[in-house]
A and B are shown apart, each in its own frame.
Chain A
Amino acid sequence: MKCRKCGAPAAINMREHKLALCREHFLEWIPEQTERAIHHYRMVERGEKILVAVSGGKDSLSLWDVLHRLGYAADGLYIDLGIDEGIAYSSKSRAFCEQFAARQGLTLRVVSVPETYGRSIAEATRLSTRGRKKPCSICGLVKRHIMNRVGREQGYAALATGHNLDDEAAVLLHNAMTWSGGYLVRQGPVLPASRPGLGRKVKPLCRIYERETAAYALMRGIDYIYEECPFSVGSSTLYYKDVLNRLEEDRPGAKLQFYLSFLQAKDGGLFALNASGEAELHDCVTCGQPTSAPGKCAFCRLWDSLAPALPLPQDGLREGDGGQGEMGS
């Protein structure tokens, strides 16, 4: 198979686009497509400060690389969840982020959950009823809380995550299976800021297949953590991705069509907010972050439930300049 642009041997064939490209042209194509999505969905303007949530995985590090190459002012945020489980998962993934930041001369902010909040995610999942059943739900809650906090405290206009098309299509299928209207109406490439001072959330890779973000990382020589998070084994996301890939095998482009036609239908009014509109948000009495019910937010309630309760420190952010060492902030 030949590259459509230059006729050299192709390194990747994207059946959903009927497009095969060599390494050189694929490495141009991904940033072009990302830039198009950023403009199309009005994610960020040039000059705005972006905080990229990096996990050490292929998607988030590729996104950081692409945003940097496109000239966006993007810092990284690594949340050390304290997941060891015999494979030193968190310390390895943190090292990949630090190494990437150092090589590119970028700023990486690090928040350690065990050091800041007194418990690792592994402990929290064992100690809470919610965590034993759904560790990923605890992890998501903690990450969202920390991303919001750092974004707000440090004045970032947008929080960018490495969600790719497979992630989005899997979530969409999951929510469509249960017609979870509240989730469906909020799913999209941009989640506007719900409160003054909070950044919007954006997903610049939302139209790019996971296979292609992995190819980008490999071709670009980005080292990333290859092992799966030990808590993701048997996750529903993996199940729905597998189902969608079986569909994709027979019908190239099925995943893309599923997601894009959903966005189109949503824009056309297929899903409506409740008559009362968006739920009224309150300030959490402990941390000040927005919460749908008066009192404490879900994060603070979770942490309270992890007896013996530990005080929530106010400052857990550390900043590394290009991974050259960390400075207290």
Chain B
Amino acid sequence: MDPERNSTTLLHRGRRFDVPAGSTLRDAIRKVGLSPEAVLATQNGELITDDRILKPGEEIRLVAVISGG
């Protein structure tokens, strides 16, 4: 089975992460080493909540929200 067809892509600051579809977005964010508290997720320009169950083939952009200095 083609793994890409069963995965969802997360985009964050120029990086791509392929994560298994079927998990929640919140779990997937944690799995790639990010904090769900430090990002917002958008799809097609709209914000989505992180309880969303990921579907195969979809692409979600994670917007970093923490700045410092």
Q: Within residues 185 to 228 of chain A, which ones have a CB less than 8 A from any CB in chain B?
A: 210-211, 213-215, 218-219, 226, 228
Residues of A within 8 A of B63 (CB): 214, 218, 226
Q: Tell me if A249 and B36 are in contact (CB < 8 A).
A: yes
Give the number of residues in B that approach A within 8 Å (Cβ atoms): 20
Whether A232 contacts B69 by the Cβ 8 Å rule is yes
Across the interface, B67 reaches (CB within 8 A) one of A1, A12, A57, A215, namely A57
Q: What is A's interface to B at a CB cutoff of 8 Å?
A: 1, 10-13, 20, 23, 57-59, 136, 139, 166, 170, 210-211, 213-215, 218-219, 226, 228-229, 231-232, 235, 237-238, 241-242, 245-246, 248-249
CB-defined contacts of A242 to chain B, threshold 8 Å: 35, 38, 66
Q: Which of B40, B65, B68 has the most CB of A within 10 A?
A: B68
Check if B2 is an interface residue, CB within 8 A of chain A. no
| Contact indicator B69/A1 (Cβ below 8 Å) | no
> B38, A211: Cβ atoms under 8 Å?
yes
Among candidates A10, A226, A231, residue contacting B49 with C-beta atoms closer than 8 Å: A10
Please judge, given known A-B contacts A11-B47, A13-B49, whether A170 and B40 are in contact too, CB under 8 Å: no
A-B contact pairs, 23 of them (CB 8 A): A1-B51, A11-B46, A11-B49, A12-B47, A13-B49, A23-B47, A58-B65, A136-B69, A139-B69, A170-B68, A211-B37, A211-B39, A211-B65, A214-B40, A218-B40, A219-B47, A226-B63, A228-B69, A229-B67, A232-B68, A232-B69, A241-B66, A249-B35
Closest 7 CB pairs of A and B: A232-B69, A237-B68, A238-B68, A214-B65, A245-B37, A11-B47, A1-B49
B69 & A215 in contact (Cβ 8 Å cutoff): no
Q: How far is the CA of A157 from the CA of B34 in the complex (A)?
A: 41
CB distance from B11 to the nearest CB of A (A): 13
Q: Which of the residues B35, B47, B48, B50 comes within 8 Å of A245, measured between beta carbons? A: B35
Across the interface, name the chain B residue whose C-beta is closest to A219. Answer: B47
